[in-house]
Amino acid sequence: MDRKIYVAIQGEKGSFHEVAANYYFRNERIILVPCSTFDETVSSVVRGNAEYAVMAIENARAGSILYNYNLIRESRLKILGEIRLRIRQNLMALPGTTIDSLSEIRSHPIALAQCMEFLNTLKGMTLIETDDTAGTARIISEQKLATTGTIASAGAAEIYGLSILAGGIETYKKNYTKFHVIGNESAMPAKGDKASVCFATGHKPGSLARVLRILADMDINLSKIQSVPRLNGNWEYMFYLDLEMNTVSEMDHIVKALEEHTSNLEILGIYKKDNNLYES
């Protein structure tokens, strides 16, 4: 019998996290470990209840999920891979329901935010934030909420027997979310062309510019830089960078160069860059 892989996700079956997990582990037999929060998702791997976690880290419309950067670093887990998913949002409700008969739409706040241009056309509609898109679809189905709709994936509509009243309602049609696959350091790939690192710099003019110049001189492509406040009350920041390189062996040279000009330097993961854009 093929080995089963336990994968923690934020949300329930039918969520976009599940779609991303299925794409990434498409050649494996996976068992989902649904979690209600990102904290619980990471803790599932730390406690050994799951081997991996799939966690959203950035959306093309909403930007980076800063909290998740800190979760990854503080957990001591490593980024093992990434996957980019084209997010197609859909308004759904019980079969036989029409948009005009809806009095409220419940969904995750990010899903609602991604569809505001469409939602603003629905005069008098009450919008209610929930913890999970797929979980809300399940509740509408189980409780037979005839005047309540939700915004979720097409997969959620199929799983929970809902009808899609309006498809592709996201405002930004190139709406994609990047997910990180995280796990224990022992599972880090032997080869990779991308690395995620974080560090702090001193409070001196040009400190960050000096680091960026070092990377440029090494011909390292900086594909992302994100600052996150350090929780020390001194308004200091951690910088999170995604670096694209030719070989893993370059990482030793990068670390050696950065150590001289940074503090709290950490390698969050070395992995394969995802050049695909999957459809949800």
User: Which CATH number applies to 4-86+177-185?
Assistant: 3.40.190.10
pLDDT at 249: 63
Q: What residues does each domain of the chain span?
A: 4-86+177-185, 90-167, 194-271
Q: What does the block give as tokens for 111? A: 């899903």
Query: Which helix (DSSP H) or strand (DSSP E) does residue 47 occupy?
Result: none
Q: What does the block give as tokens for 131? A: 């913890």
pLDDT at 232: 65
Sign, CA dihedral 123-127-132-138, equals negative
pLDDT at 62: 74
Q: What does the block give as tokens for 90? A: 């859909």
Could you tell me if 92 and 149 are in contact, meaning their C-beta atoms sit under 8 angstroms apart? yes
Question: Which of 61, 106, 91 has the alpha carbon at shortest distance from 169?
Answer: 91
Decide if domain 194-271 falls under CATH 3.30.70.260: yes
Query: Which helix (DSSP H) or strand (DSSP E) does residue 6 occupy?
Result: strand 4-10
pLDDT at 229: 80
Mean pLDDT in order along the chain per 10 residues (280 residues): 87 94 93 95 97 93 85 95 95 97 95 95 96 95 98 96 97 92 89 90 82 89 87 75 80 85 91 88
pTM, full prediction: 0.88
User: Which CATH number applies to 90-167?
Assistant: 3.40.190.10
| Domains 4-86+177-185 and 194-271 fall in the same CATH topology | no
Q: How far is CA 25 from CA 20, 33, 186, 238, 277, in A?
A: 9, 14, 18, 31, 15
